[in-house]
């Protein structure tokens, strides 16, 4: 045995020591006696730049994969898209006329403005939590850009999640796929409310679940679900997804089912943070 080895703490004792340390840390944070937020912020300052770099490499690879696609396939896609552009341009002209009218009428009736009109901050996703157990991720905009806790995050016209924590140049987003996420939602046609939650057993199929839909109306697959006006954190009317499957609960009063989200969570890279917090009575 050399001297160095003799001076060290015995492995078993070290294990006991670290265990006690962990359990006390766990107890302190679980009871909200101590917050690890300052520590987490400090660690993020070190780790986030690395994650940004690594993420850039990953994005590069993804783009390479895309650019190798078949020319034939691409030109067909272009033709299809061109037709779509024409149709959409026509529709857009018509809609923008109606939009003006709507704006005037809204002003007239003093109706709350739509979430589309609020100021938004674009942000890129830089990392996702490493386990299979949570669906939270980190974006590259933080309090410096005006991002604050409880702001809604959207992408591609659908709800992605909500800001749960912010640092100077990063923020944590809990996606609606996370099983700690519960969003108060409603159907577009009848305003039937329900709770949309993430479900770890559905996440691989890219589906969400909903429950407690208390309604007499028939709910069909394809029914659109948006955030409801009674939600205390989510702004009204943000699309969540469409109904995929409905079942009646055993009490015959409420319905549960599955939802296909509007956002394709496999490819979330760019998101928009809505810089408007839901105003509540409290």
**What is the contact surface with another protein in residues (CB under 8 A)?**
1-2, 11, 14-15, 18-19, 22-23, 25-26, 29-30, 36, 39-40, 43-44, 47, 50-52, 54-55, 57-59, 61-62, 126-137, 177, 179-180, 199-204, 206, 265-269
- Closer residue to another protein in complex, CB, 114/129: 129
**At closest approach, how far in Å is the CB of 184 from another protein?**
18
- Closer residue to another protein in complex, CB, 11/72: 11
Do residues 151 and 164 lie in contact, with contact meaning Cβ atoms separated by under 8 Å? no
**At closest approach, how far in Å is the CB of 243 from another protein?**
19
**At closest approach, how far in Å is the CB of 80 from another protein?**
25
Taking the C-alpha atoms of residue 163 and residue 173, their distance in angstroms, rounded to an integer, is 4
- Closer residue to another protein in complex, CB, 11/251: 11
**At closest approach, how far in Å is the CB of 173 from another protein?**
12
Taking the C-alpha atoms of residue 231 and residue 240, their distance in angstroms, rounded to an integer, is 13
- Closer residue to another protein in complex, CB, 28/81: 28
Taking the C-alpha atoms of residue 169 and residue 144, their distance in angstroms, rounded to an integer, is 6
Do residues 200 and 178 lie in contact, with contact meaning Cβ atoms separated by under 8 Å? no
Taking the C-alpha atoms of residue 221 and residue 260, their distance in angstroms, rounded to an integer, is 10
- Closer residue to another protein in complex, CB, 44/166: 44
Nearest CA to 255 among 205, 228, 218, 203?
218
Taking the C-alpha atoms of residue 239 and residue 223, their distance in angstroms, rounded to an integer, is 11
Q: Is 266 helix (H, G, I), strand (E, B) or coil?
A: helix
- The two tokens of residue 218 are 């028939």
**At closest approach, how far in Å is the CB of 140 from another protein?**
11
Handedness of CA 121, 122, 128, 132 (dihedral sign): positive
């Amino acid at each position: 045995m050399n001297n160095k080895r003799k001076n060290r703490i015995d492995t078993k004792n070290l294990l006991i020591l670290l265990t006690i340390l962990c359990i006390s840390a766990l107890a302190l944070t679980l009871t909200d006696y101590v917050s690890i937020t300052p520590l987490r912020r400090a660690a993020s300052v070190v780790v986030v730049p690395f994650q940004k770099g690594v993420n850039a490499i990953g994005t590069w690879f993804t783009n390479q994969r895309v650019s190798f696609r078949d020319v034939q396939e691409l030109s067909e896609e272009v033709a299809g898209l061109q037709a779509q552009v024409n149709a959409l341009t026509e529709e857009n002209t018509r809609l923008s006329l109606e939009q003006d009218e709507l704006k005037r009428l809204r002003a007239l009736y003093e109706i709350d403005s739509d979430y589309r009109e609020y100021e938004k901050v674009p942000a890129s996703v830089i990392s996702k939590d490493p386990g299979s157990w949570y669906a939270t991720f980190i974006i590259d905009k933080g309090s410096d850009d005006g991002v604050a806790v409880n702001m809604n995050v959207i992408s591609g016209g659908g709800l992605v999640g909500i800001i749960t924590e912010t640092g100077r140049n990063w923020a944590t987003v809990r996606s609606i796929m996370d099983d700690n996420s519960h969003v108060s939602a409603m159907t577009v046609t009848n305003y039937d409310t329900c709770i949309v939650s993430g479900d770890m057993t559905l996440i691989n199929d890219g589906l969400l679940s909903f429950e407690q839909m208390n309604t007499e109306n028939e709910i069909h697959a394809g029914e659109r679900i948006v955030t409801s006006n009674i939600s205390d954190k989510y702004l009204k009317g943000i699309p969540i997804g469409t109904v995929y499957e409905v079942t009646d609960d055993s009490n015959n009063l409420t319905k549960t089912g599955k939802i296909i989200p509007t956002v394709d969570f496999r490819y979330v890279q760019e998101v928009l943070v809505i810089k408007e917090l839901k105003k509540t009575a409290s």
